[in-house]
Each structure stands twice: as C-alpha cells, then as structure tokens.
Chains A and B, each alone.
Chain A
Amino acid sequence: MSTVSPQLPGGAGDPDGGAAGADALTVDAIDISYRVRGRDLVTVRDVSFRIGRGESYGLVGESGSGKSTIALAVVRYLARNGRVSRGGIAIDGRDVLAMSSGELRKLRQNTVSMVYQEPGKALNPTIRVGRQVAEVFELAGLKRPEALERSREMLEKVRISDPEGVMKRYPHQLSGGMLQRVVIAMALAAEPSLLILDEPTTALDATVEAEVLDLISALRTEFETSLLFISHNLAVIAKMCDRVGVLYAGELMEEGPAREVFDDPRNPYTVGLLRCIPRRGTAKNQDTLDTIPGFPPGPGEIQQGCVFAGRCGLVEDRCRQEAPPLYAVDAPSGRARQSRCHFHERAQTPPRVVKPQREDGAAANGAGLGEVLVSAADVSKTFHMEGQTIHGLVDVNVEVRAGETLGLVGESGSGKTTLARVLLGLTPPDKGATLAIEGSALPDNARARTRDQRKALQIVFQNPDSALNRRHSIRRLLSRALDKLGGYKGEALAKRLRALLVEVRVAERYLPMRPAQLSGGLKQRVAIARAFAGDPKIVVCDEPTSALDVSVQAAILNLLNDLQRREQVSYLFISHDLGVVRYLSDRIAVLYLGRIMELGTAEQVFNAPHHPYTEALLSAVPTLEPGGAAARERIKLEGEIPSAANPPTGCVFHTRCPRFLGDVCVNTEPPLAEAEPGHAIRCHIPLEELRRLQATEVTVAGAGD
C-alpha cells in the first residue's frame, strides 16, 4: 500500500489540529474535471483543505459549487467521465487516488463512510433493513447471526427504540427520520475514521432534522469520527462544524473556524450569501434582503481573474486580470483563516446591491388590517385510502385579509398543502365547510367557480420545472395565461406581456426560450408572472423558494414583496423555512396533524408566549445568530410525528409535548381559544402560565442526557 504525506501549500493548517498521526483527510490542491464531448471541463479548481482527527469540517456553497463533487472524489465515486486531474487526496495519510480497487474496497469497508440526502433512496427497497446493516459486519468477517446481533446494537446506538422491529422492515415502511438513522448506523458500523455527510438533513422536517443533527454530534464524540459535512444551509454548518470552507464555482473562497467565518466574513461572496438569508425576527417591512446579482459562471467559463468578479460589489480591474490566491486573513482571534480576495481587508462591507427600504411600521401594519378577502370556515378534509380514514384537515378556520400575507407553517403531513388546495378549489372539503371571497360564497370546486373567482386565486408551485409546460416557449406560456385569465387579446396582450416581464424582472430576450433553457430562479419568475397574469387578489405560494439557492431565494422573496406592495395582493405563503415565513408573513398559522395549533401575527407567533409546538419548532431550527445555539437549550421532541390516520386522543400534540400537563391533555382536545387580541392558541395551559414557562430557561424533561 503506497503511503504519502501530502503537504498543504503554505502550511495553512489549523494550530488546534495537533500533530499526532496523519490527518483524517487531506485534500491537496485538487482539480476535478469532467470530459464532455471531447473537452475537459474543470468543475473544481485548486481546492485544498484538511480535516484533523476528530474534527468536523463543513463545506458550504450553492448548487453547482462543486461540494458534492469533492465528496465523491474523496471516496473515488466520480462519474466515469470525471477524474481528479491534479493534486492529491489522502485519508488517514494514505493516497486515495493511487489505490488499487482492492485497497479502495478495504478503505471503504474500514475507514470512510458516506451518508447522503435522501435516506429513502439510499437503502435497497427489496432487502430488509436489518440485512442491509448486517452486511457491513459480514464484510468485516462476522457470521450472519453475530452480524445481525451487532446490527441490533448499532441501531440502538442511533436511538431506535425498537431495533428488532425495525430490522425486519423494508425501507418503505419507515419514516424519513428513521431511515436516516438506519443509514447513519450503517455508516458508523465499521467505525470509520472519516464520515462524509452530504446534505444529510435537507430532506427532513425541522424537528426531525434537529434530532438527527443532535444524534450526529453525539455519535461523533462517541466514535471519535471526523466529519466532512456538506450543506447549502449555513446555519446547519455553523451548528455542526468546527471549521468551514465556502465554495463558489468550484473554488474555495474562504476558510476558517465556522462561527468566526459567519460572524465576521472576509470574502465578498460569503458576505453576500449571509445577506441573502432572512435573519430570525426580520420582517419584510423592516429590511429588504440583499441579493447577489447575476449568475454563477459555468465550468471553465472564467479563464482569467477572480471567479466571483462578475458579481462582486468590490470588483476592480485587478480582479479581472489576476486570480487571487488564498490570502491568510489576520483575524482578531488569531486562528488560521484564509480568503480568496485581493481586498479581503475591506471585504466585510461590500456595497449593498438592493437599497434597504425601511417602511414606516405604522403604515405597514395599517395595510395588514384590510378587509377580509378570503375566508374558510369549518373546513375539514377526510381522505379515505385503502380502508384507512385520514384526517387531513380538522375544523380549520382562517381568513386572509386584503394585502396581507398569511404564513402556513408545519411539518410534512400537517395539512398545509391540503388547506391551500381547498382554497384553490382543487380538493373539495368535507360537507359543512364554507368558503367565501370578498363576502360572496366560493364554490368548493374550481370548475363551479366564476371566471373572476378563478382569476382571483392563483398559485405558485415549489418546482417551476413541473409547473411550466416544457414544450411551450415563455412567450406562449405567458400569452396563454394573459388570454385565459386576463382576457387580453392582440395588441393589449402584447403590451401587458411587456409590462408583466418588467414587473417580474425577466428580460424580453427570454421570451422565445423554453423553460429548460432558463435557470431555476428565472423559471420561478416566469411562474410568478403566470400567476399574476390575471391580476389575482390572492396568490398561494407553496414552498416557492425551497428548490432555489439562497441568493436566488432572496431575489424571489424581494420580488414577491414588491408585487404585494404595488398590487395589494394577498399571499397564502407555505414554507418549511421559518426564517422565510417570518420575513414575509403578517400573520402565521401553525398546523399540526391538520389542526391549527396557533394563529396570530408573525410577532405573536414567533415570540413567547406561544404554543409549545411552535416553541419546539422554533427551537429545532439552527440559527446563524451569534451565540444563538449556545444561548438556548433546544427543546427536544420525543418520538415521531403520529399518523394522521390514527391521531392521538385529546390534544393531538400530547404525545410529543414538552409542556405536557397530564390527563387533561390525553382526554380533552383543547379549543383554539383567543389568548390575547388576534392571537389564538390551542392549549390547556393558560397564556400567563406559558409566558412564565417560556420566559425562563428550563431544561425540559428528556433533555438531560
């Protein structure tokens, strides 16, 4: 077995790393290129970093930045046309790139494991879970019964309460959170020295994500494993990692201790990225999000100068001529930091792209208190599937006022999308529901609605790829919407089309193109334009930014905000991202198992006192605020989200409630009662008691370990 001792150029190591033994991972000035149509496209350029023993290193970046490519190169699982064309990779001091296939297999068996985004796909659907975990032990030479026994122990270690039961199951019978635990168990079974996690919690709900992240932290200490943690979510990286590398267009832009980099960034790209994210407690009338203009370059597009120069607010001629090296940054803490910017000394405050627009608080609130536009009263929705009765919505009452945004928050299966579909007339509610728009009755079925009513209610979907007909040009897509919804014809249509494009900031040159030729952000702008073609009164936005990168998300949120201010349109805004919901919403409804648990203004819902479920949801989300994670003890939720086919008795949240009272919660479902003006909570605990409980830092039962 060949052994090398790679050295990083400039010796840019972390002084805390220690010298004993080889690093868990050394990536030394690698280029990764893909051969496409006879040409080598370099997607990752000159990336170096090292992960010390027991260290946790994060790689952040937007899609296409090359973070997953690097991870796959480390385990030598690049696509067949991809290769590491320069530099070296060493795990535990051993050169990965020079290994024979047998050595590589041994390495994968013993030394490095990987966990990735969708746990449902990572397991073989036709083999029982127990067998799949046991396989790892069998590879290590154990006999089947012994391997199964060790698997059982391993599943216990990832806090699965019924390991025997889980082992007998097939992947499709387990929830996403449970599956990710199984995958983690499998990855740690061989006690690897390096664990690579590629977006391990992106597909999971907030409370489940929090549990999985806690589990990873605990196991990392227990198994003394080093982590390479890849995520687009800066807050998750800040929570999980000691050091972080920020990737852009295949280059490492900045590197250093994670908290320091996010609190005090020294590269214009990092600064821009952070400015795109709505910080907790920021609302649309207080601050406009900044964006990063333009698009990331394609592989090999930039031959000269800094890769970020085209989008950078600090750009000077030098940046276009001379590619910046990784400069050592002189940070106050004295710890090693690097930034790929000629002007890193003044990179902390590049000029803003979007001028901050502060509105008069009073005026904004006044706008929020318009007439009731759409109301849904006593809405229940029961689904009958394969002999099961699923209560999708139970007795929901909501109003959306003119010009306001009502945010819908809840984990998957909480009924957010069902409620939106009921309002749109796509899913008829159970008998007894009353829908109304501007005071007049709104039929349950979209077909029975008048044209004006259909025009008034529009939707923007999560995934613009499937929402836009890929065979039609943008011109045709929008013209059709203007014709069918707006009733525009001929010259009037052409005029309105141009105006619409200006409103959503899509250049006219995109009109002849088809959706596939557009970037994700542009596609979503077209989808928004389509929704606005008929001058709607209310637009349902179902996770409109969750498929987008943060810099694009910021631009879309700003666009929605602008449109609302100009057109006085209302939004029903669905998102799992609490920061985004907080930013855009005037009022928020929190759903759990089809019931509204809490309803109030954004401030009321986000600040204590609030419903224990809201409290847990908020505390589950990692934040970027300085010291945020340390200051708050996370409220842990026990167990899984119950099935809507078989909801708990009494208060549906009692099985997981951190503020559980006793029999009253088990036996009686509390009403959604107005606790203070405009703020309703479905809980047996009185508001004053909640205020007292939530004001003090209480270590909640179950968090003692």
Chain B
Amino acid sequence: MIAFILKRLGLALITLWILSLIVFFAGQVLPGDPARAILGPLAAQQAVDALRHQLGLDQSIWSQYWHWISHFVQGHPGTSYQYQSAIGPILTSALGRSLKLAVLAFIIVVPLSIFAGIVAALNVGRPIDRAISVLGLSGTTVPEFVSGIILILIFAVGLSILPVSAQAPTGASFLTQIKYLILPAIPLVLILFGYIMRMARAGTVEALESDYARTATLKGLPRGVMIRRHVLRNSLLPTITVIATQTGYLIGGLVVVETLFRYPGLGQLVAQAATNKDFPMLEAGVLTIGLVYMLVTLIADIVFSLLNPRIRLSAVE
C-alpha cells in the first residue's frame, strides 16, 4: 500500500513538473511584453528595458525557468506584475475562497447525485428513472451563466431572499458566509449533478445485474441488505473517480460563476492575470490548480484502492 502511494505520488510530481514547463513556456510565446504592459504604451524604451532587466526578462529562457521554479518550490511564487506585491498571500486567500465555494457545492451535490443515481438504478426504465435522468442531463447542459442569471433574477432580484454577490462582508459569521455562497453554488451543483448521477446509476445498474447480486438475492437476503452490502460498495467505486476528476473543474473552472457573482476566487484571479499579462500570477495560479487536482486525484485513488481489495492486496504483494 505504501509502495502504491509512493508510486502515485512520484507520478503526480512528474505530472506537475510537466505542467510547470507547459505553463511557463506557454507564457513565453504569448504575444506582448510584460514590462511594456506594466509601464503602458507611452513609457520610454529605456524605462521598459530597465524594468525588463529588473524582472529578469533579459536572461535566457532556461535560467528564467530555473529561477522561477526553484523559488516556487521554496514557497516564493514571485511578485505579481499587476498588484506589485507578493503572489503568495493573494493566491492563498483566493484559493481559500474558491475551496469554500467548491466544498459547499460538493457537500450538496455528492450525496444528492449518488442518492438520485441509486434511486434511478433501482427503478431502471420506470418513470422515476426517466425523470431523474432527464433532469440530470438538462442540468448539465445548461451553462452556468444561464442558470446563474436565472437564479439571481428569481432569488436575489425577485424574491430578495439571497444576496446577489457571493462575497460576504468582512467579519461575517460562518452561517452568513454560507448564505452568500448558496446562490453561486447551485449552478455548480446543476452541472455536476448530471455527471455524478449518471455514473452512480450506471455502476449500480451493473452491480444489480451481476452474478454476485443474484447470489445474494438467492441466498434469501432482504433486498435492502442485499443492496447495502453487496451492491453499493461495488457500484460506487467508479463514481469516486468521476467525483475526483470534477474537482479540477470546481477549483479552477469557476471563472464564469466567480465573475457572475463577483467572487474573488482562484478562477477569477487566473482569468484576470491572463488578460493583464501578469505571467507570474498566471503561472502560479495554474500550477496551484494543478496541485490541488493532483492531490484530490491521489486521494481518490487511495480511497478507490482501499475499497477494492483487488488493488489493495496486489499492491501489498
């Protein structure tokens, strides 16, 4: 098991390193000069050159990469061009806010979609299955900005029971913060519900049709026990992987929702950095998203193998 985790960790590190290369060199080929972007089109060429030197932009590309990555690993992701201050604190607070939103969305969507998937699977072909499937798929196909705007119109503008902005005033209590986050979380829930529900449904249908489910039924087990003990554990294994892969979306792909609800999270931060050619911020942001993604996938892999003796035991031997 330890060897298995170490192997996965090693693979994750290699992936992150490749990601850092891609991010860094993609930043290099983007048109435009950061120094010029900072100083504006009217600045003297000498001033631009001086800033370029100060930022290290006149060095070779490899030494720039080395400089950047070695500092990043030590916890110094550099200085943001646009804010003219250290990236670290800005990034962590944005990440914290994004995580808050993501966790809330997860807490709502995971149990809900798994439950719906199982209910649908137990009633394959019946009206309730069709209803759940159609609802799930429609939720997934409606873009966040559409559902977001509709939600704002209904709950914030029409009924005024929830705030339009996602960002609670500073010093707000935990419950107030959640109240502010509910509205932006719903579009995310709608998007994810369909994916996770389909997976849970498919896994459960397969497990219900399996020979071992038949064995359990023909033993004379009550249906509830049969489903709990023999079906669920096997059926939810693939679902775990799907949930993990959706994390990446939840952490970094929130640009639309965060912009719509004026929520200064990681997605908005990265999007802004890209528009303003704030390369250090962009690189640090993308790498952070990659890091979180790797971490969640790793955790999912470990949970998956803990639940699946086939993998757990072969890793021991």
Q: Which listed residue, B216, B230, B310, touches A172 by the CB 8 Å rule?
A: B310
CB of B217 within 8 A of CB of A172, answer: no
Interface residues on B, range: 20 to 34
Distance between Cα atoms of A118 and B210 in the complex (Å): 11
**Contact present for B211 and A116 (CB under 8 Å):** yes
Residue of B nearest to A136 (CB): B219
Chain A residues lying within 8 Å of B221, measured Cβ to Cβ, are 105, 135, 139
Contact with A along B223-237 (1 / 0, CB 8 A): 000000110011000
B279 to chain A, nearest CB (A): 45
Question: A124 near B217 (CB under 8 angstroms)?
Answer: no
* In the complex, B313 has a CB within 8 A of chain A: yes
B222 within 8 A of A: yes
**A118, closest chain B residue (CB):** B211
Would you give the 0/1 interface string for A73-105, flagging 1 where the beta carbon is closer than 8 Å to chain B? 001010010000000000000000000000001
Residues of A within 8 A of B218 (CB): 75, 77, 108, 113-114
B296-317, CB under 8 A of A: which get 1 and which 0?
0000000000011110011001
What CA separation (Å) do A435 and B221 show in the bound complex? Answer: 58
> Chain A contacts of B210 at CB under 8 A?
121
Contact of A170 with B219 in the complex, beta carbons under 8 Å: no
Say how far A194's CB is from chain B's closest CB, in angstroms. 12
Chain A: number of interface residues, binned into ranges:
20 to 34
Q: Are B314 and A105 in contact (CB under 8 A)?
A: no
> Does B71 count as interface, using CB distance less than 8 angstroms?
no
Give complex CA distance A172, B212 in Å.
13
Given contacts A116-B211, A386-B317, contact A125 B310 (CB under 8 A): yes
Give the chain B neighbours of A122 by CB distance below 8 A.
211-212, 214-215
Cβ of A646 within 8 Å of any chain B Cβ, yes or no, is no
Q: Which residues does chain A contribute within 8 Å of B310, judged by CB atoms? A: 125, 170, 172
Tell me whether A127 and B230 are in contact in the complex, defined as CB-CB below 8 angstroms, given that A77-B218, A109-B220 are known contacts.
Answer: yes
Task: For the complex, give the distance between the alpha carbons of A67 and B310 in Å.
Answer: 34
- Bound-complex Cα distance A121 to B314 (A): 19
A107 on the interface (CB 8 Å rule)?
yes
- A534-551 CB mask vs B (1 if < 8 Å, else 0) is 000000000000000000
Q: How far is the CA of A262 from the CA of B313 in the complex (A)?
A: 48
Q: Closest A residue to B126 by CB, please name it.
A: A80
Contact A126 B309 (CB under 8 A): yes
Residue A186 lies at the interface, judged by CB distance under 8 Å to chain B:
yes
Rounded to whole angstroms, the CA-CA distance of A699 and B307 in the bound complex is 49
Q: Cβ of B313 and Cβ of A170 under 8 Å apart? A: yes
The one of A109, A121, A127, A386 in contact with B219, judged by C-beta atoms closer than 8 angstroms, is A109
Chain B residues numbered 181-213 whose CB sits less than 8 Å from any CB in chain A: 210-212
Q: Which of B125, B308, B314, B317 has a CB less than 8 Å from the CB of A126?
A: B308
With A170-B310, A170-B313, A172-B309: A124-B230 Cβ-Cβ less than 8 Å: yes
* Residue A106 is within 8 A (CB to CB) of chain B in the complex: yes
* A188 touches B (CB below 8 Å): no
Cβ-defined contact, B212 with A106, below 8 A: no
Indicate whether A126 sits within 8 Å of B220 (C-beta atoms), given known contacts A118-B211, A121-B210, A173-B313. Answer: no
Of B210, B220, B308, most buried by chain A (CB within 10 Å of CB) is B220
Chain A residue nearest to B314 (CB atoms) is A386
**Smallest CB-CB separation from A172: which chain B residue?**
B310
A105 and B221 alpha carbons, distance in the complex (Å): 7
A121 vs B307: C-alpha distance when bound (angstroms):
18
Q: How far is the CA of A108 from the CA of B230 in the complex (A)?
A: 17
In the complex, whether A123 has a CB less than 8 A from a CB of chain B is: yes
Residue contact B217 to A126, C-beta cutoff 8 Å = no
A111, chain B: closest CB distance, angstroms: 9
Q: Shortest Cβ distance from B240 into chain A, in angstroms?
A: 13
Query: Which residues of A lie under 8 Å from residue B219 when comparing CB positions?
Result: 108-109, 113, 135-136, 139, 186
How many angstroms between the C-alpha atoms of A123 and B218 in the bound complex? 12
Inter-chain contact A107/B220, CB cutoff 8 Å: yes
Asked if B217 and A108 sit within 8 Å, CB to CB, the answer is yes
B223's nearest neighbour on chain A, judged by CB, is A101
Task: Give the residues in chain A near B215, CB-CB below 8 Å.
Answer: 122-124, 183, 186
Pair A124/B216 contact, Cβ less than 8 Å: yes
* CA of A114 to CA of B218, assembled, Å: 7
Residues in A neighbouring B222, C-beta threshold 8 A: 105
Contact A170 B220 (CB under 8 A): no
**Min distance, Cβ A479 to any Cβ of chain B, angstroms:** 38
Listed A/B pairs (20) with beta-carbon separation below 8 Å = A77-B217, A105-B220, A109-B219, A110-B220, A116-B214, A121-B210, A122-B215, A124-B212, A124-B215, A125-B212, A125-B309, A126-B307, A126-B308, A126-B309, A127-B229, A136-B219, A170-B310, A172-B309, A183-B215, A386-B314
The 5 A-B residue pairs with the shortest CB-CB distance in the complex, in nearest-first order: A109-B220, A108-B220, A121-B211, A170-B309, A124-B212
Contacts A108-B217, A109-B220, A123-B215 given; 5 further ones with Cβ under 8 A?
A: A105-B222, A122-B212, A122-B214, A124-B234, A186-B215
Interface positions of B (Cβ within 8 A of A)? 125, 210-212, 214-222, 229-230, 233-234, 307-310, 313-314, 317
